[in-house]
Amino acid sequence: MQRPIVAGNWKMNGNLGSIATLVDAIEAGTGGLDRVRVVLFPPFVYLPQVSHRLKGTAISLGAQTLSEHTAGAFTGEVSASMLLDFDCSYVLVGHSERRNLSRESDLLVARKFVAARDAGLTPVLCVGESLQEREQGATEAVVARQLRVVLDLAGVQRFEGAVVAYEPVWAIGTGMTATPEQAQEVHAFIRRTLAEDNAGLATSLPILYGGSVRAANAAELLAMPDIDGGLVGGASLDASEFLGIAAAAQRHSEGT
């Protein structure tokens, strides 16, 4: 079994003081968790601070988005090479909040995925349906479309070293978690879709679930065969909740 990934997306939260406290608590609490890959996604401006604090630890650092361009007149944007300067190894691509609030299209998400992968970053490609789409029975069609645009632009080989996160939009920040069975169904569908292009790669690709994951529901989600970890929003701002999720992942990985 691959090491499960427990990733914390802090979104636009925190300040110098609270982030120092949070990262210290997470670092102290994950010391013994040798079978979990922990990744933190702070806001851009705190990357130098968190990067400095994580040096020499097993915790990886990621950014919440990146530019599809390498450099130039793109005010407010941050490139992949800038993220590498601060020891980022992961980057979220296509988070639903960016798809919806910043109007990021499937094609832009695909370009960002390519920019990340080509720079040597691990993109965490977020896909997922809205409540309306689920109620219309369109979940698989939406997820297939989101994946297909990236597969067509990037090519399946660029998924080697990438991560996919299934995040039903209706479960993000709402306290409404998908049931383990609902999540498993979509995770298996994602694997089948990628297998159409490369079966071997589809088997080994880590697929995370995101949407109101907490310490109390992490174990049952991680028990599903196609769930390889969690992308955690709200609960990642609370060190004890986040550490509870990481501990559940460690127990799952140890088979205890």
Q: Half-sphere exposure (CA, 13 Å, Cβ side) for 79?
A: 12
Active-site choice (68, 167, 187, 252) = 167
Nearest residue by C-beta to ligand PEP?
233
Separation of alpha carbons 98 and 105, rounded Å: 9
Residue number with CB closer to ligand PEP (81 or 130):
130
167 is catalytic: yes
Query: In this chain, which of 64, 212, 217, 250 binds ligand PEP, going by CB under 6 A?
Result: 212
What residues numbered 134-173 form the site for ligand PEP, per CB under 6 A? 167, 172-173
Residue listed under structure tokens 């880590």: 206
Decide whether 72 or 175 has the Cβ nearer to ligand PEP: 175
Q: In the annotation, is 104 catalytic?
A: no
Pairing, β 88-93 against β 229-232:
unpaired
Phi, psi of 236 (to 5 degrees): -80, -10
Comparison of 61 and 232: residue with beta carbon closer to ligand PEP: 232
C-alpha dist (Å) from residue 133 to 25, 105, 207, 244: 39, 17, 21, 32
237 touches ligand PEP by CB under 6 A = no
Report helix, strand or coil for 6.
strand
Does 82 bind ligand PEP (CB under 6 A)? Our answer is no
Residues that bind ligand PEP (CB under 6 A): 9, 167, 172-173, 210-213, 231-235
Residues marked active site are found at 95, 167
